[in-house]
Amino acid sequence: MMLSLVRRKVAATASSSLSGSLGRARSAAVLSHPRNYQTQYLKSGSEQIHSFCDQGHSDNSRHVRNVVSNIRINNSTLVWSRSYSSDSGELVEAVVPYMGESITDGTLATFLKKPGDHVDIDEPIAQVETDKVTIDVASPESGIIKEFLAKEGDTVEPGTKIAIISKSSEGVTHVAPSEKPPSKAVSEPSPAPAEKEKMDKQIPKAETTLPKDKPKVPSPPTSRSSPSEPQLPPKERERRVPMTRLRKRVATRLKDSQNTFALLTTFNDVDMTNLMKLRSEYKDAFLEKHGVKLGLMSGFVKAAVSGLQNQPIINAVIDGDDIIYRDYIDISIAVGTPKGLVVPVIRNAERMNFADIEKEINTLAKKATNGSISIDEMAGGSFTISNGGVYGSLLSTPIINPPQSAILGMHSIVNRPMVVGGEIVSRPMMYIALTYDHRLIDGREAVFFLRRIKDVIEDPRRLLLDI
């Protein structure tokens, strides 16, 4: 009886000690990190109280010490941990911008920055390649690039998140070296020596066996190629590179042009003497007044405008069972760039003079070369001029740029012997070619158009007199 009363008193004393220790630990945990510690306290407290009820007084004291020590160790670790989220306002996301009305997706071509680099607001961090142009993805805020959410070569759409940027230069706070996580020996008490010896007896010892030598399999005899078999180059000397979206788009459109149009090409040659003389005489005065050099392309654009006005069918296009006649003249100029062929458009060329045309060509050519040309500057166009002569082409048959119906090809200027006034003289000559859709344009209109180009280039005074 007396022994029972002593046990109850000891149990009551230990219980009050346990409750006080747990209460003080919970108060400290709640003040520092309320959400994390409420769960930790309830879990650890319930387990230790259950052990207290099942075991004696000596075990109860040990469990009380373990509960308090565990809570203190976890408390010091969790107080110093810090996490960021998009809700905190310190992180922003860089997304793919709107790419144009007819473009639904693109390929993430390259990253211009690396994680950890500092970026300013509106500074490009990546480039997206589309069927027509290359678009920059700009940073919405100034800060540090934390991580990339996409990789090069991925197909992205407008609104796709590609990077996370931290507006503050600080990252996630790391645990200091002195604040090491609790060791396993502290959180989990080591088993008693008797139990350890018992466990060692239960684990069977692995038998060490020496590996046996595998029988050698004779290698098959090398087959000698017969003299008649062709000797192909090894695959190691070949490289496979994926096509860019611009190159795939150009290839598709050109093949569609061959499959759709009834292509036919007519040729003529042009004496460039008078146009080159005009350019040589007035190039300095032209540059001084208009701030741009006088080239040969403006003369061919003016000649093309005159030819399209004389032969409106060249400027028309087939749409189903109808013919659409355009009362405006938008001249597309084919420009070769390192990334592929682009065709910027000179709008309302019939209203421009030589200076306006040269300025527009110069502006569009620079944008096409550095990749800053927009989709709107390449959309449309009713007729195309391609100058292969800048690369040394002597003669070619250009392909129509859909949905147009004809294209003029210029070539290199070569001095050739010509008969002028009954005498053989050397003249700078250029071959010109007109490829047209024979479904819509007859040979008569095509030849008359090319003849008009020849007459205006050989005698530019016709443009002034409109003859």
Catalytic sites, residue numbers: 438, 442
Using an 8 Å Cβ cutoff, are 281 and 348 in contact? no
- Pair of tokens at residue 111: 């990253």
Q: At 16, which amino acid appears?
A: S
3-state secondary structure of 137: strand
Q: Which residues contact 128 (CB under 8 A, 6 or more apart)?
A: 96, 99, 106, 107, 108, 109, 134, 135, 136, 137, 156
- Pair of tokens at residue 143: 């800060």
- Pair of tokens at residue 109: 């071509």
Measured CA to CA, the distance from residue 131 to residue 403 in angstroms comes to 17
Using an 8 Å Cβ cutoff, are 454 and 270 in contact? yes
Kindly provide the residue ranges of all beta strands, DSSP E only, lying in 91-235, ordered along the sequence.
Answer: 91-95, 106-111, 118-119, 124-129, 134-138, 143-148, 155-156, 161-166
Peptide bond into 403 cis (omega under 30): yes
Using an 8 Å Cβ cutoff, are 265 and 451 in contact? no
- Pair of tokens at residue 322: 């109808």
Using an 8 Å Cβ cutoff, are 294 and 282 in contact? yes
CA-CA-CA-CA torsion sign (356, 358, 360, 363): negative
Measured CA to CA, the distance from residue 282 to residue 467 in angstroms comes to 23
- Pair of tokens at residue 128: 């997206």
